Each structure stands twice: as structure tokens, then as C-alpha cells.
Structure 1
Amino acid sequence: MTRDLVSIVTPAYKAAAYVAETIRSVQAQTYGAWEMLIVEDGSPDDTWKIVAEYAAADSRVKLIRQANAGPAMARQKALEHAAGRYVAFLDSDDLWLPEKLERQLAFMGEHSSALSFTAFRRITADGSTTGRLIEVPAEMTYRSLLGNTAIATSTVLIDREKTGPFQMTKTYYDDFVLWLGILKRGHVAHGFNEDLMRYRVLDQSVSRNKWRSMRMVWKTYREIEGLGFIPACSAFAGYAWNAWWKYKKF
């Protein structure tokens, strides 16, 4: 691992409309020691061509192509190529504010964090409307995260020197399962309550199907985390409440 390098993991599928803006938000970072690993997941559109143009102009942007396998395996492919001590996650339609990496890395150093996450705001698909600040708690443990939605994928930064190796699980909520797996080792996730990311709300995004999302959360509790029926019910109630509270107002 390169000690000061941040490896940015970005799965991209049908992302032609937004991926250029996402890349530019990374190029605008005040912290320059990064590589952006964009895994083009068999898109039927021009996603790979757009990424290839940026990669040709900036060696820190790296295009990786694969047959369609879903976001979990796209993220895993990026991890297999990641050279940095730090791993950040950024979805292909989300955006970072310019000081995101610089300020979050400083925060992690102050708290000796293995995993950190930040506050953020949602934006509409066309970027014309910005929502309220979604604040985050100061800390999350494995047990508290089970019943919470506080960690947004595109805000996460992980120090692999502290966590050791990890990999994605091929499941619907692969990101949530990864956070749980790291915290289960005894680590604490630290919340940096500063507005540093923009989450783009798309009607066709995976998480917009609420009924399916709820079924997959339940499956995560029971089949992946191995929770009994009563603990799973308790965790699910907390998860549902926090999700409602988080998204009740744009």
C-alpha cells in the first residue's frame, strides 16, 4: 500500500449522464494524492467512453471494464486494484465537495479512526435543488449500526492499515454488510458532522424500491449477520425509524 494514497472505489453502470461531473468533483479535491478506480460494469451506454477520455487526460483516473456483475462485484474489482492505504467510496452519480478528502483525513488522524463517514445533502437528478443537511452521530458501533442508516456510502473513508484486508460480499446491501463486518472486528466508526458530499436522488436507483429494500435489510440481518428473530425485529424497527426520519423531508 502507498501510505498517503486514497484509492477511490466507483462502480459505474448506465452512468453516462453523471459520471463526468462525479470525476470532476474528485479532480477538484484540495488533497491530490488519490487514484480513482472506476469499474464500468457492462453498461449499454457510453459510460466507458466518457471515463476513458478522463483517464487518458489524467493518470489518476483509471478505467476498469468488466461484464455486468452488479455494484458489489464492481466494488470488489476496484479493491483488487487499489494501491492506497485509504479506501474511499464514491458512487458514479454522487459528488464530493472540494475539501472532502483533506478535511476527512485530518479528522481521522485526530480520532485515530479505522472508518469514518460524514454529513451530506441530497440533490435532485438535475442538480437544481439541494436538500437539508443530513447530520451524523459522533460514533457508531456494530450494534448501533444494525438499527441505523447513518453511514452513506459516498461519504465513507477507511484506513486499511487499521482494519486489515476486507472484501465485498455479493449481496443487495454490500456496503452496509462491509461496514458491519469492519465494526464487528471491534472498530468504531467515527462520524464527521460536516457537509462534504452530495447524494443524487434518482428514481431508477436501487435504493428507491422501498419494499425490496426492506426485504433485503431483513435478509441481511437473518442470513448474513445471523441474528435471531427477536434481535432482527429490534434492529429492523430501529432501521425503519431512522430511515423514515432521515428521508421524511428533502
Structure 2
Amino acid sequence: MKPKVSIIIPFYNCPYIEQAIQSALNQTYDQIEVIVIDDGSTMYAERITPYLDHVHYLGKANGGTASALNHGINMSSGEYVAWLSSDDLFYPSKIEKQLYFMLEHNARISYTSFNSINEKNEITQMDVTPRYPNSIDFYRTFLNANPVNGCTVMMRRDFFGRIGMFNESLPYTHDLDLWYRALLNGIHFHFLGQSLVAYRWHEEMGTKKHSEAIKQEVAFTMGKYKPSLEWLISQME
């Protein structure tokens, strides 16, 4: 029997939500469940109505993306979990290609490359993700940046049993925090070098609206894990 994959879509006042849902439903892999977590939205929820027969739609009080992801993961039933932001898109073969890649490599977590798009779904940059010649160079990148786009990631369910869930106290760096914990627990990130996600840049995105707060939180999160990561890298050299 083919493994089920749960696609978690956190939603908060996003005008692109129906495009994200449609991209999840358009997957070539048929053993999926799509779970939309409404994180206390006050706008655009009506755009989900046409899809209610095809997705699990769950509401909750506003608590941020990490809390929405954790709620979706806890309510999901798939052996694998993928995260899709409500303003981004999965290309049709995303789940199928990434799942079989993970099965082939017995991976707990994997990530892919992606294309950047604008408000009109026009590609502005292709194949964005950098390549690393070895694990040490990949680990070193985490000392100053986050090289893994969360919406390209797929995780096996036992990944969370090993290192825990997203940190709900971090509004912006919950993904980076989780990646650090994975690295420090010896979990290898497998990279599939294909662009299987469209990552949307637009004026209302959190990355632009909250840039200063994000910089401060990134500095805090990196500072928390940097000494342990530096020690780990020294053991790898």
C-alpha cells in the first residue's frame, strides 16, 4: 500500500489561499489528504468554500504559523507530512517525486529547490536553492542563514517523535529552530535538486511586512544554537 502524505496549509487572511489549495489537489500522487488550518482569519475564508468537500478545514484561535502547523500535524493521518504556505504553490508532481525520493533514501526529512513567482504567478527566478558539495558546507551555511525553504520540505512522521514539534513561541523562525534541532540530533537533510514549489513574493508577505522583527528573531535563534552547531562542525572536519 502506498504511504499517505498529509499536506498542511496554514491560512491567515491570505488572498491566494484558493490557488494553494488547488495546487495541493492537483497532485499526481493520489494518496494525500489536504488539511487547511484557519488560524483565526477575518478575511478571504469564503474562498475556501468551494473546496470544503475535498479538504479537511479546521479552525482555531489565532496563534501563529507554528501553532497552525502543529495543530495540522496532530490532526493528520499521513505517514509523511508536507507544509504549503497559503500564498505558495506546489507543482503537480511535487509530492510524488519527493515521496519516492525519500523512500529510496530512507529519509526522515528532505527538501527541494524552488522557483520564485510574483503576484501574477510569473516566474521571477528559477531554481533558487544553492547546491552544497558536502555536508560540512551545508551545515556551515546554518551559521549565518537558513538554506531550507519550509514549503519545499517533506518529513516522515517519526521525525517529530525524534525532535519534537515546531516552537510556537517563535513567530518567524519556527522552521529554522526545527532545522537546528534536526541537525544537532544527527538527522540528515536529503536534497532533491528539482524546483517543485513556487514561492511567491508579494507586498503583503510576512517577510516584507515584519522584516525588522524577523532580523531580531533570526539573530536570537542563531545565537541560541550557534555554539552547538560550531562544535558539531568541528567534529565533522
Q: Same fold (TM over 0.5)?
A: yes
Gaps of 5+ in 2: 231-237
Identity %: 28
How far has the Cα of 1:74 moved from its partner?
A: 0.9
> Aligned residue for 1:219?
220
Q: How many residues align?
A: 223
> Aligned residue for 1:8?
7
Q: Are 1:167 and 2:165 an aligned pair?
A: yes
**Matching residue within 132, 140, 144 for 1:144:** 140
2:124 alignment partner AA: T
2: CA distance, partners of 1:153 / 1:187: 16
How far has the Cα of 1:204 moved from its partner?
A: 2.1
2: CA distance, partners of 1:69 / 1:162: 23
1:23 alignment partner AA: I
> Aligned residue for 1:66?
60
2: CA distance, partners of 1:129 / 1:151: 19
**Matching residue within 101, 109, 122 for 1:115:** 109
For the Cα contact (< 8 Å) 2:38–2:68, is it kept in 1? yes
1:205 alignment partner AA: M
> Aligned residue for 1:156?
153
For the Cα contact (< 8 Å) 1:31–1:102, is it kept in 2? yes
For the Cα contact (< 8 Å) 1:136–1:191, is it kept in 2? no
For the Cα contact (< 8 Å) 1:145–1:180, is it kept in 2? no
For the Cα contact (< 8 Å) 1:3–1:85, is it kept in 2? no
2: CA distance, partners of 1:149 / 1:83: 29
After the TM superposition, which residues 87-236 of structure 1 pair with which residues of structure 2 at under 5 Å, given as runs? 87-137=81-131, 143-144=139-140, 146-147=142-143, 148-161=145-158, 164=161, 166-170=164-168, 171=170, 172-208=172-208, 209-223=210-224, 225=225, 227-228=226-227
1:5 alignment partner AA: K
1: CA distance, partners of 2:38 / 2:81: 18
For the Cα contact (< 8 Å) 1:115–1:190, is it kept in 2? yes
For the Cα contact (< 8 Å) 2:40–2:59, is it kept in 1? yes
> Aligned residue for 1:243?
none
- C-alpha change, 1:98 and 1:132, in structure 2 (3 Å) is same
2:47 alignment partner AA: I
Q: Are 1:85 and 2:92 an aligned pair?
A: no
How far has the Cα of 1:129 moved from its partner?
A: 4.1
For the Cα contact (< 8 Å) 1:119–1:192, is it kept in 2? yes
1:178 alignment partner AA: L
Deviations 1:175-228 (A, max 9, x none): 1111222222111101111011100112222222433322111111234x3x45
1: CA distance, partners of 2:197 / 2:175: 17
Of the structure 1 ranges 3-12 and 22-31, higher mean CA displacement relative to structure 2 is found in: 3-12
How far has the Cα of 1:163 moved from its partner?
A: 5.6
Deviations 1:40-98 (A, max 9, x none): 11111132x32243022x2xx11010111111111111111011110101100100111
2: CA distance, partners of 1:81 / 1:180: 25
- C-alpha change, 1:163 and 1:198, in structure 2 (3 Å) is same
- C-alpha change, 1:55 and 1:136, in structure 2 (3 Å) is farther
SS at match of 1:4: coil
1:91 alignment partner AA: S
SS at match of 2:3: strand
